[in-house]
Amino acid sequence: MGSAGMDLQRQILQALETHGTVTSLELAGNTKQEHQKVVGAIKSLESLGNIVSVSQSTLKSWECTNEGASIASEGSHEARLFKSLPAEGRSVADIKANFPNSNFALGAAMKNKWLRKEGEKVVPAVASIEDQVQIHLQAVSSGAADSVPDKLKAEYKKRKLIKEIELNMFEVRKGAEFTTSITKQEAELTKEMIESGQWKNKTFKPFNFTAKGRVDLRAGHLHPLMQLRAEFRQIFLEMGFTEMPTNNFVESAFWNFDALFQPQQHPARDAQDTFYVAHPATTMEVPEDYLERVKKTHTVGGYGSTGYQSDWSRDEAYKNLLRTHTTAVSARMLYKLAQEGFKPVKYFSIDRVYRNETLDATHLAEFHQVEGVVADYDFSIKNLMGVIGSFFRKIGLTKLRFKPTYNPYTEPSMEIYSYHEGLKKWVEIGNSGLFRPEMLRPMGLPENVKVCGYGLSLERPAMIKFGMNNIRELVGPRVKMELILDNPVCTIDKFREEQKLSGSGSLSVESLSRRQELIIEKLTALQTKVANIASKMGVTLEGSLSTATTCLTGAPKSGVIHDVVVYADPRRPPYSLRALTNALARTTPVCRRVHCHSSVKEISEKLQQFWGSGVNEERRGCVVCVTLVWRQAGDSPLALLPTLSVSPVSALQVIGEHNIGRFLVRLCDVVSEPSSLYECPTNPVFTARVDELLDHSHAKFMLGSNKERAGFLRGVNARLGSEEFLAGPNLSLADIILLSGLIQLRMLESSPPNVQLWSKRCLSHQLCKNFL
Ligand code: PHE
């Protein structure tokens, strides 16, 4: 409390001493302080105990508006007009053109019979006037609104000259412990007060537990489009995709079109469709040998193609433009991949592209493209449809249809349609295809390498999600701030399966029973087949057809809600699962089992006992059931990655140990509490840093070449000790995944010194008890 506040409090107590009771209004008048300040001082006195007693009443009163106040001081419009008139009068046209509020002023002055008409002019009709309106408004201003007849007050209110206000007024009386001498209350207990013992003689201000905190805490908000981008990115990451660098909006026609086998005569290359850049108008360089191969493929063909059999100009290819699709970036990355030696990859990008479009409700000249590219040996359209299907299922679109289309750079090409439940029709959501050999082979990619790609816009799903029919509500100057401030954190229904599976809620029951129905359906079909075969072979089957189904539909089986199956290659045991399931088991009943798929011929005792001894294998009473299936799906780096499915019949698949780690940690969140492995309340960037390391170790370590692996470990070695997320005070997901990777690749012993020290620390952690 400042001393001015204390003064005011003393003045109030003084006034009470002399008058016995006072109101806040009187006090404001006498002390010449703002009413609000006086109220504050009264409240402070009230909080001191029984010194004063306070009662509140509301007081209605009148106040001039700005216009009313100007009339109170300058006179009404009609009076001002009257006073401005010369004795010979003034033409109506002149008044209308030059006098403010002329229509009203003329009308009112005529009605009051202050003026009369004389031809084209008005002249004064009386010698002097009394400006009633001004007198009344002056009365309102000085707090004497009572002297103005109610009827007139109503009229002035209607004309917005005065308004009614409500005032909270306080009446103050002496309290039981009234005194005029108050001491300042201390707001804080200090070290000095305790040391000197002064605290004994002080009075302390009570805590105000009902004070409102700051209601409107503004923090940074992400634009909904950027939120959606973050979600798409997360989905790609979980599917094991790597993000492509898309930070070049200006691109050469070569990479945007020519590298993609788009003929130079193609209409999309016209300036009506593409923005060309004036400064600098041309690109600096293009890999010369590659350019020659591209030129040859366009002009005379190659790789089994006749090409376009037309001219090809270097100048045309060198033109700079604003990229029209992110496929230009994909082309650069595929070329780079071919130069570095091909290995299977999954790439994605989400960024801006530019097209010279006629702007309308659904088109802008710039928008975002979401693009996925998958390259592997002997890939077919079937694989492409599978990749697209699993991607779209993850964003909540399950009903998909493909329609043949044409792209210069893909064959076959397919438009992707999804059934829109709201619009009750199929809407186009994307474009896709298998890149042509005419594009891939000149890059230097081997013949049996196939690459598929698909693209969609970010804006369209955003508009559908936010129920907008005009893109300008989403992008540009007409975007409402509320959209950004109030927009919900989570926008798309990814992890639908997880959501359905999570916790109580009818949703999970519904999805579980649907899943069960599916299983039963499949089982019944299988049993019918077996029965058919058996009867053909003349074999009678023991037991009845219903055995398999009754075991499923019978008594409800415990409370298992989260059922996950991890498929892993015995050559790459995902050791992190041990630590992560240990973490889960700390708060939740977990059941852990091991199976062996027929693709695995022999399995060591150690891997059969992967979870260690004494681990619960009984589903009954468990909330999470993790089944590890040893399976061999091939020898390529991608085939060696573990995958996680939430159930044998669900589409959701999580690929790679790092993503499985993320999934299990999130499962921790769902069934109990946020895990400190992935989140740190005091370090807001913790999760981001862990993520970064996870992705890096996946791409550069698990999927990397020997050289990349060594480089990665050197980098980690240098960072160790300075990073909280690597063997910091708390174990992180990055620690666990990295350690597991090192053990799988048998690189622990040969790793640099800090890494060895770090691994020992990790292994001594309680969660990693049965890690090795
Ligand atoms: N580039 C395409 C477009 O702009 C999308 C696409 C990407 C198509 C990759 C096929 C393969 O619509």
| Mutate-to-test residue for ligand 1 from 273, 274, 327, 456, highest number of ligand atoms within 8 A of CB | 327
Taking 70 as the threshold, does the pLDDT of residue 508 lie above it? no
Contacts of 663 (CB under 8 A, 6+ apart): 238, 498, 564, 644, 654
C-alpha pair distances (Å), 681 with each of 678, 687, 724: 10, 10, 13
Virtual CA dihedral for 556, 527, 632, 624, nearest 10 degrees?
Answer: 0
The CA 432 to ligand 1 mean position distance, Å, reads 6
The sign of the CA dihedral 266, 272, 273, 274 is positive
| Mutate-to-test residue for ligand 1 from 246, 383, 431, highest number of ligand atoms within 8 A of CB | 431
The CA 348 to ligand 1 mean position distance, Å, reads 12
The CA 453 to ligand 1 mean position distance, Å, reads 7
What integer pLDDT is reported at residue 695 of this predicted model?
87
Q: At what angle do helices 132-141 and 66-74 cross, to 10 degrees?
A: 120
Return the top range by mean pLDDT from 56-60, 684-688, 726-730: 56-60
| Mutate-to-test residue for ligand 1 from 322, 407, 454, highest number of ligand atoms within 8 A of CB | 407
The sign of the CA dihedral 133, 135, 140, 146 is negative
DSSP string, 694-738: HHHIIIIIISS-HHHHHHHHHHHHHHTTT-TTTTSSS--HHHHHH
- Closest Cα to residue 429, out of 401, 450, 408, 449? 401
Which residue has its alpha carbon closest to ligand 1 atom 8?
A: 432
Q: Is 242 a pocket residue for ligand 1 (Cβ < 6 Å)?
A: no
Which residue has its alpha carbon closest to ligand 1 atom 11?
A: 453
The CA 416 to ligand 1 mean position distance, Å, reads 11
The kind and range of the H/E element at 622 are none
The CA 596 to ligand 1 mean position distance, Å, reads 41
pLDDT band with cut points at 50, 70 and 90 for residue 554: very low
The CA 755 to ligand 1 mean position distance, Å, reads 43
CA distance 26 to 29: 5
pTM beyond 0.75: the answer is no
pLDDT band with cut points at 50, 70 and 90 for residue 614: confident
CA distance 420 to 427: 6
Centroid of chain to Cα 173: 56
For residue 423, the SS3 value is: coil
For 750, which DSSP code?
A: T
pLDDT band with cut points at 50, 70 and 90 for residue 503: very low
Virtual CA dihedral for 513, 516, 521, 526, nearest 10 degrees?
Answer: -170
Contacts of 63 (CB under 8 A, 6+ apart): 140, 162, 163, 164, 165
- Closest Cα to residue 298, out of 249, 246, 260? 260
CA distance 239 to 653: 8
Q: Is 371 a pocket residue for ligand 1 (Cβ < 6 Å)?
A: yes
Q: At what angle do helices 657-671 and 224-238 cross, to 10 degrees?
A: 120
Q: Is 257 a pocket residue for ligand 1 (Cβ < 6 Å)?
A: no
The sign of the CA dihedral 602, 605, 607, 613 is positive
CA distance 37 to 24: 10
Average pLDDT over residues 471-482: 85
Average pLDDT over residues 270-290: 93
Shortest-distance atom of ligand 1 to CA 330: 9
Taking 80 as the threshold, does the pLDDT of residue 248 lie above it? yes
Burial status of residue 588 (CB atoms within 10 A of its CB: 0-12, 13-18, 19 or more): middle
At which residue do the structure tokens 């973490």 appear?
583
Shortest-distance atom of ligand 1 to CA 373: 9
For residues 436 and 731, the model is more confident at 436
> Which residue type does 423 have?
L
The CA 123 to ligand 1 mean position distance, Å, reads 80
Average pLDDT over residues 484-504: 46
Q: How many residues does the chain have?
A: 772
Taking 90 as the threshold, does the pLDDT of residue 501 lie above it? no
| Mutate-to-test residue for ligand 1 from 262, 266, 324, 325, highest number of ligand atoms within 8 A of CB | 325
Cβ 489 vs Cβ 468: under 8 Å: no
Strands 590-596 and 624-630: parallel
C-alpha pair distances (Å), 720 with each of 95, 382, 657, 692, 726: 85, 45, 22, 15, 7
What integer pLDDT is reported at residue 135 of this predicted model?
94
Pair of tokens at residue 45 = 């006195």
Which residue has its alpha carbon closest to ligand 1 atom 10?
A: 432
Q: How many CB atoms lie within 10 A of CB 522?
A: 12
Contacts of 407 (CB under 8 A, 6+ apart): 413, 431, 433
Shortest-distance atom of ligand 1 to CA 325: 4
Q: Is 407 a pocket residue for ligand 1 (Cβ < 6 Å)?
A: yes
Tens digits of residue pLDDT in 161-199:
999 888 888 999 998 888 888 877 788 899 999 999 999
Nearest 5°: the CA angle 30, 33, 39 is: 100
CA distance 463 to 367: 12
Tens digits of residue pLDDT in 133-144:
999 999 998 888
Shortest-distance atom of ligand 1 to CA 371: 7
Cβ 620 vs Cβ 557: under 8 Å: yes
CA distance 78 to 99: 11
CA distance 699 to 703: 5
What integer pLDDT is reported at residue 348 of this predicted model?
96
Give the range among 106-110, 490-494, 581-585, 672-676 with minimum mean pLDDT: 490-494
Shortest-distance atom of ligand 1 to CA 324: 4
The kind and range of the H/E element at 444 are none
> Which residue type does 582 have?
N
Taking 50 as the threshold, does the pLDDT of residue 12 lie above it? yes
Q: Is 432 a pocket residue for ligand 1 (Cβ < 6 Å)?
A: yes
Pair of tokens at residue 427 = 């809407």
C-alpha pair distances (Å), 287 with each of 263, 292, 321, 339: 19, 9, 18, 11
CA distance 730 to 360: 53
CA distance 517 to 532: 22
Return the top range by mean pLDDT from 338-342, 460-464, 765-769: 338-342
What integer pLDDT is reported at residue 574 of this predicted model?
94
CA distance 198 to 195: 8
Give the range among 40-49, 149-158, 271-280 with minimum mean pLDDT: 40-49
What integer pLDDT is reported at residue 552 of this predicted model?
34
Q: Is 264 a pocket residue for ligand 1 (Cβ < 6 Å)?
A: no
Give the range among 29-38, 305-314, 362-371, 671-680 with minimum mean pLDDT: 671-680
For residue 43, the SS3 value is: helix
Taking 90 as the threshold, does the pLDDT of residue 320 lie above it? yes
What integer pLDDT is reported at residue 495 of this predicted model?
35
Q: Is 704 a pocket residue for ligand 1 (Cβ < 6 Å)?
A: no
The CA 369 to ligand 1 mean position distance, Å, reads 9
pLDDT band with cut points at 50, 70 and 90 for residue 753: confident
Q: Is 262 a pocket residue for ligand 1 (Cβ < 6 Å)?
A: no
The CA 341 to ligand 1 mean position distance, Å, reads 25
CA distance 427 to 446: 37
Taking 50 as the threshold, does the pLDDT of residue 412 lie above it? yes
The CA 340 to ligand 1 mean position distance, Å, reads 24
The CA 641 to ligand 1 mean position distance, Å, reads 28
- Closest Cα to residue 110, out of 70, 77, 149? 77
Number of H helices, E strands in the chain: 29, 20
Cβ 71 vs Cβ 109: under 8 Å: no
DSSP bridge partners of 90: 122
Average pLDDT over residues 10-39: 89
Cβ 665 vs Cβ 580: under 8 Å: yes
Provide the terminal-to-terminal Cα distance of the chain, rounded to the nearest Å. Answer: 64
Sheet holding 624-630, edge to edge: 590-596, 624-630, 562-568, 643-645, 653-655
For residues 148 and 491, the model is more confident at 148
Give the range among 263-277, 319-333, 750-764 with minimum mean pLDDT: 750-764
Mean model confidence pLDDT for the chain: 84
The CA 355 to ligand 1 mean position distance, Å, reads 14
CA distance 512 to 514: 5
Which residue has its alpha carbon closest to ligand 1 atom 5?
A: 455
